[in-house]
Amino acid sequence: MKLFQFRHSPFCEKVRLLLSAKSVSYAVEEVTPGLGQVDLFRRSGQRQVPVLQDGDELVVGSVAIGRYLEKAVAEPALLPSNAQDRARALLWENWADTTMAHGARMALLQAVSQDNELRRALLPVATPSLLRDLLGAFPGEVMAGVSQLLTHGGSQQLKQALEHLTVLTADGGPLIGEHYSVADLAIGAQLYGLRFPHCAGAELAGAGVPGIGDHPLFEPLFAWRDQLYQAVGRVTPSPVQDSQPSA
């Protein structure tokens, strides 16, 4: 299988977690924002990542990919067999992919707007080094408008949700029942940019959103996330292959 990805997209991280949990080996193709997306559109009829290719089949979006993998590789099951638990898992996944994803994206954007180093480290791997350096050197004011994106209320809402998650994961185990499910993977993935895990690479590991990624209150939540990563075998950095748009 091949994953078309942006390396630091939490939805791509969700798919990498799903693939790791299912012990599926895969190649990645790093999609260059802009040009690479034109190529992706040609292939898949839309421009967003993640897209998973399995032979002739293209599956678009983390939810569809999750359902596809569940059919293709039955074990371990990531959707609980019990109907009530399955409904819970799907609701959690939907919340993580929408409300949590929005809050986490805004919080990371705000952090990036105030931190040149973080901005440089997050640029696509395919970006030529000169451009990378130039963009990294952008003065804070250029990005200052972004700071308005996450209102105080939005930031409080995210922190409150993370406090609830910290309570719900306090025993260190799965959110639902005895086994990890799409609920844990979807939430773990959206924690990605709040405090980058080891597999994000040496430049980013441990960095993230000040006041969240480094706050003692959320330490047990990130410890839970790291335990989840260990359990599904997502411990090494993803392979990176630059996109090569076809002619």
Ligand X SMILES: N[C@@H](CCC(=O)N[C@@H](CS)C(=O)NCC(=O)O)C(=O)O
Q: Is 62 in the site for ligand X (CB under 6 A)?
A: yes
Is the CB of 11 or the CB of 196 nearer to ligand X? Answer: 11
- Hey, which residues between 63 and 102 contact ligand X (CB under 6 A)? 63, 97
Q: Is 58 in the site for ligand X (CB under 6 A)?
A: no
Q: Is 13 in the site for ligand X (CB under 6 A)?
A: no
Binding pattern to ligand X, positions 160-199, x when CB under 6 A?
A: ----------------------------------------
Minimum Å distance from CB 135 to ligand X?
Answer: 18
Query: Which residue in 2, 47, 102, 215 binds ligand X (CB under 6 A)?
Result: 47
- Residue 55 CA to its chain's centroid (Å): 24
Query: Which residue in 1, 9, 80, 213 binds ligand X (CB under 6 A)?
Result: 9
Distance CA 103, CA 12 (A): 17
Is the CB of 61 or the CB of 154 nearer to ligand X? Answer: 61
Query: Which residue in 44, 48, 53, 99 binds ligand X (CB under 6 A)?
Result: 48
Minimum Å distance from CB 211 to ligand X?
Answer: 22
In terms of residues, how long is the chain? 247
Contacts of 59 (CB under 8 A, 6+ apart): 51, 52, 53, 65, 68
Is the CB of 15 or the CB of 176 nearer to ligand X? Answer: 15
DSSP 3-state percent helix, strand, coil across the chain (nearest 5) = 55, 10, 40
Closest C-alpha among 183, 166, 167 to residue 175: 183
HSE-up of residue 203 (Cα within 13 Å, Cβ side): 11
- Return the residue matching tokens 């990890």: 180
Taking CA atoms, 210 is separated from 18, 139, 159, 201, in Å, by 28, 19, 12, 19
- Give the binding site for ligand X (CB under 6 A): 6, 9, 11, 37, 47-50, 61-63, 97
